Chains A and B, each alone.
Chain A
C-alpha cells in the first residue's frame, strides 16, 4: 500500500512509519524538520502541515509517482498545557493551525486522490483529553474536538467516494508531546481511565491496523479512545 503519515519525524508518527515500512508498504512522511532517509521505501518532505501550497505539492508528487494513495494517517499534532487565563492567542492559533487546519488540508487533498480509485482510508488523531475535558488543556482539547467533528462529517461526505474516515484517541504515551507534563498531573489523568496506565506505540498501531484492513470497509466515522474512557 501507499501510506502517507504526517508528523513522522519522531514519536508516534515515526513508530508508525517504521511499523508500515517493516510490512513492506511504501511510506511518505512529513514534518517541519528534515530527517535522514533511513529506508528505501520511505520519502520525507519537510513541510508545515498547515501550508496549503506545500501540502498540495506533496500530493502532486505522490500522484505523479504512484497515481494513488491508499492510507492517510493524520498524526502531526502539538499540545500546550496552560490555564485559559494564561493562554496567548498566538498559542491558540498555532495549535488550531497544526491540529485542525493541517488535518483538514490533508483530508481534502487525500480524498481528491483516493476518489479516483474509489477507495481509501483516513485516520485522524484525537486524544482522551477531549472527552475527559481536562483542565489546562482547553485549547488542545478544543482543537481535537474540531478534528472529531471533521472526522464524523467527512466520513459521511466521503462515503460515496469509497473512503472511510476514523479517528484514534490515545491515552498518554511517552513522547516529546507530554514530556513537560508534571508527573502528578499525569497520574491524576491516568487514574480516570478504566485501565490506569500509559499507552504504547503498539496500542496505537493496533487500532490503525484495524481501521485500514480491507475487512474494515464498513467502519467509518468512529472515534476510538484507548484505555477505557
Chain B
C-alpha cells in the first residue's frame, strides 16, 4: 500500500474532522496529534481515528482497528504525529493484522 495513498485518506479525514469540529488541524506529517504538545484531546483523537477507519474501509475495503494492544505497545506511539500514524496504518494494512 503506497504511503501517499494513506496520506491522502488521512488528510481527507482531517478535512472532515476540521469541518465537523470547527478545528484547524494542520495537514502536515509533523503535526503533533496526541501526547506532549499534541493538538487533540482524547475524545477528538477518537473522532479522527473513527473518520480515518471509515474512510479506509470505504476506499480501500480494509476493516482495520487502529486502536489496539499492538498500537499501544509500539515504541513510538502511532498517535504522536500524522507521520507516525500513517506509518502505523501502513504497517497494519500490510500485515493484515487486526
Q: Say if A and B assemble together.
A: yes
A residues whose Cβ falls under 8 Å from a Cβ of B: 52-53, 56-57, 60, 63-64, 112, 115-116, 160
Which B residues touch A52, using CB under 8 A?
A: 65
Which B residues touch A64, using CB under 8 A?
A: 57-58
Given contacts A64-B58, A160-B43, contact A56 B50 (CB under 8 A): no
CB of A66, distance to nearest CB on chain B (Å): 13
Q: Given the complex of chains A and B, what is the CA–CA distance between A57 and B57 in angstroms?
A: 10
Q: Is there an interface contact between A112 and B50, defined as CB atoms closer than 8 Å?
A: yes
Q: Is there an interface contact between B63 and A57, defined as CB atoms closer than 8 Å?
A: yes
Question: Is residue B90 within 8 Å, beta carbon to beta carbon, of the partner chain?
Answer: no
Q: Is there an interface contact between B50 and A60, defined as CB atoms closer than 8 Å?
A: no
Q: Is there an interface contact between A56 and B63, defined as CB atoms closer than 8 Å?
A: yes
Please name 18 pairs of A and B residues whose Cβ atoms are closer than 8 Å in the assembled complex, sorted by A: A52-B65, A53-B63, A53-B98, A56-B63, A56-B65, A57-B63, A60-B57, A60-B63, A63-B54, A63-B57, A64-B57, A64-B58, A112-B50, A112-B53, A115-B47, A115-B50, A116-B50, A160-B43
Interface size of B as a range:
10 to 19
Main secondary structure of the interface of B (DSSP, over half): helix
Which B residues touch A115, using CB under 8 A?
A: 47, 50
CB of B3, distance to nearest CB on chain A (Å): 24
Q: Name the residue of chain B whose CB is nearest to the CB of A161.
A: B43
Q: Given the complex of chains A and B, what is the CA–CA distance between A66 and B43 in angstroms?
A: 24
A-contacting residues, B31-64, CB 8 Å: 43, 47, 50, 53-54, 57-58, 63
Which B residues touch A112, using CB under 8 A?
A: 50, 53
Q: Name the residue of chain A whose CB is nearest to the CB of B43.
A: A160
CB of A222, distance to nearest CB on chain B (Å): 24
Q: Name the residue of chain A whose CB is nearest to the CB of B54.
A: A63
Which B residues touch A60, using CB under 8 A?
A: 57, 63
Q: Given the complex of chains A and B, what is the CA–CA distance between A116 and B98 in angstroms?
A: 23
A-contacting residues, B4-45, CB 8 Å: 43
Which A residues touch B54, using CB under 8 A?
A: 63
Which A residues touch B53, using CB under 8 A?
A: 112
Q: Given the complex of chains A and B, what is the CA–CA distance between A52 and B70 in angstroms?
A: 15
Which A residues touch B43, using CB under 8 A?
A: 160
CB of A69, distance to nearest CB on chain B (Å): 13
CB of B17, distance to nearest CB on chain A (Å): 12
Q: Given the complex of chains A and B, what is the CA–CA distance between A9 and B47 in angstroms?
A: 34
